[in-house]
Amino acid sequence: MSPLSLIDAAKAPIIAYGKKDWDAVKGAILPDVLYDEVATHRKLQGSDAFLACWKGWGAALPDSKATVHNAFASGDTAILEVTWHGTHTGPLQMPTGQLAATGKSIEVRACLVVKVVDGKAQSMRQYFDMATLMQQLGVKA
């Protein structure tokens, strides 16, 4: 794949998430996708687990989407620098339990490392700052 095609494939699930188009998200990932959400310590295998996780974020932050600021590609991997934006209007499942809606807005920078095979995400590792997220939601550590 060309670097541009690789980056487009890496962006595809993120763009579909922003639209809450779950069929498009599923179409942009491989059935055995590996998702590693570093900040929450969630490591999920398979498209069903991936979709359940992302639907959980979507239910908690229905207007959430990412703005991609930079994208880099090398070999079969793309790295995306993004900022997630949204409003916390639904329950959010956290590693320590469920957080009730706060009504607060978030703006959290993140980095995603996406391995692409056959034009779809085979693995995705996402790094974001949990402390910033919790501070913006008004949660005390």
pLDDT greater than 90 at residue 73: yes
Q: Is the whole model's pTM more than 0.85, yes or no? A: yes
Helix (H, G, I), strand (E, B) or coil at 131: helix
Q: Which pLDDT score is estimated for 139? A: 87
Residue 38 structural domain: 3-92+99-137
Q: Kindly report, residue by residue over 98-136, the tens digit of the pLDDT.
A: 999 999 999 999 999 999 999 999 999 999 999 999 999
pLDDT greater than 90 at residue 69: yes
106 contacts 89 by C-beta, under 8 angstroms: no
- Domain of 83, CATH number, reads 3.10.450.50
The total domain count for the chain is 1
Query: Position of tokens 């703006």?
Result: 107
Joined together, the tokens standing for residue 112 give 């995603």
Q: Which pLDDT score is estimated for 94? A: 80
| Predicted confidence band of residue 95 (pLDDT cuts 50, 70, 90) | confident
pLDDT greater than 70 at residue 141: no
- 85, β-bridge pairs: 65, 107
> Identity (one letter) of the amino acid at 33?
V
Phi then psi for residue 129, to 5 deg, are -90, 100
pLDDT greater than 90 at residue 96: no
Give the distance from CA 132 to its chain's centroid. Answer: 16
Q: Which pLDDT score is estimated for 6? A: 97
Q: Which pLDDT score is estimated for 140? A: 75
Position with higher pLDDT, 99 vs 94: 99
- Rounded to whole angstroms, how far apart are CA atoms 72 and 35? 19
